[in-house]
Amino acid sequence: MIDFEFHQANDLDHAFALLADYGDDARLMSGGTALVLQMKQRFSQPGHVIGLRRIPGLGSIEETGDGAVRIGALCTQRQVETHPLVTQRLPLVAGAYRHVATPRIRNMATVGGGLAHGDPNQDPPPSLIALGASVVLSSAGGEERLVGAEDLFVDYFETDVRPGEIITGLVAPPAPEGSGAAYLKFLPRTADDYATVSVAVVITTDEAGNCGDIRIVLGSVGLTPIRAAAAEDALRDQPLTDETIRAAAATVLDAVDPLEDHRGSTEYKREMAEVFTRRAVRQAMANAGLV
């Protein structure tokens, strides 16, 4: 690993000042689980690392006035997984974070660090996108910018975090009343590995029992998490039968664009995306008491 200078930010103003001083030669670090690995592998070689872990006010989880849950960027992933407010109001999010690596990693990795990393193979983003969550981006002078989780990821390991901005929180609304949600992760290897494919689904039904609204988001099958809009359109306002679910899931074959790696070939991942979309929709229905 290359030599670098470490700077511990005492508060947000200090962090913004350090970013202004060192510019493109600086990287932010909270938990360090991703950045340290990148530096060891020389994928990232900053001359300055700015530590955020001691910044006050970014490690809490609380309900907002409109019933959503705001999660501070410095909350550990283990904290999100186990916090009563998250498990009660956002069980889909708690479950997704529970799938990340191992407890040892989740006790160090932070919510903000994971989002800033921009890895399309991570577990939480599909569920956050399916719920319509937003990411809070702060900049000097107390300005905040709210970006939908769906819009945060713009390319492979690239996000919409602008120079001088720091992710300070995550705001997630609960799933609609009476809805069902599911997150499925296909693991061909060990339980702490990234997925070959992952799928998050949130579904509601109308009075006739047809699909009212649905959001389907896939991970690990493209350069970013992928919203399966065609599959959603194929199911919306339709009866939830095996036939309609199969037809909708078949449309994800054209939506995904997997990279071949040791977790599977491009074609295999494409096929598993269809299979696990079907399974996730049915699991979401079961969780809503529809089957």
pLDDT digits 0-9 by tens, 195-217 = 999 999 999 999 999 999 999 99
Of the listed ranges 30-34, 132-136, 240-244, the least confidently predicted one is: 30-34
Residue 69 banded pLDDT, cuts 50, 70, 90:
very high
Query: What is the C-alpha separation between 192 and 194, in angstroms, rounded?
Result: 7
One DSSP character per residue, 176-209 reads: PTT-EEEEEEE-SS-TTSPPSEEEEEEEEE-TTS
Question: Which ranges in the chain belong to alpha helices (H)?
Answer: 12-22, 35-40, 77-82, 84-89, 91-98, 103-106, 111-117, 124-131, 149-152, 229-235, 242-250, 252-255, 266-287
On the question of pLDDT at 291 being above 80, the answer is no
First-last CA distance in the chain: 53
Which secondary-structure segment (H or E) carries 134?
strand 134-139
Pairwise pLDDT comparison (232 vs 36), residue with the higher score: 232
Burial pattern 169-193, b for ≥16 Cβ within 10 A else e, equals bbbbbbbeeebbbbbbbbeeeeeee
Residue owning tokens 């060990």: 190
Determine the length of the chain: 291
Pairwise pLDDT comparison (193 vs 96), residue with the higher score: 96
Chain Cα centroid distance, residue 135: 10
Q: What is the pLDDT of residues 131-164, one digit of tens each?
A: 999 999 999 999 999 999 999 999 999 999 999 9
For residue 126, give the nearest of 167, 157, 92, 159 by alpha carbon.
92
- Region label for 105, one of left (φ > 0), alpha (ψ between -120 and 50) or beta (otherwise): alpha
Task: Note the pLDDT of residue 130.
Answer: 98
The CA–CA distances, whole Å, from 264 to 86, 98, 102, 119, 226 equal 33, 23, 22, 17, 18
Task: Note the pLDDT of residue 1.
Answer: 67
Could you tell me the pTM of the whole model? 0.96
At 59, list the tokens.
Answer: 């490690």
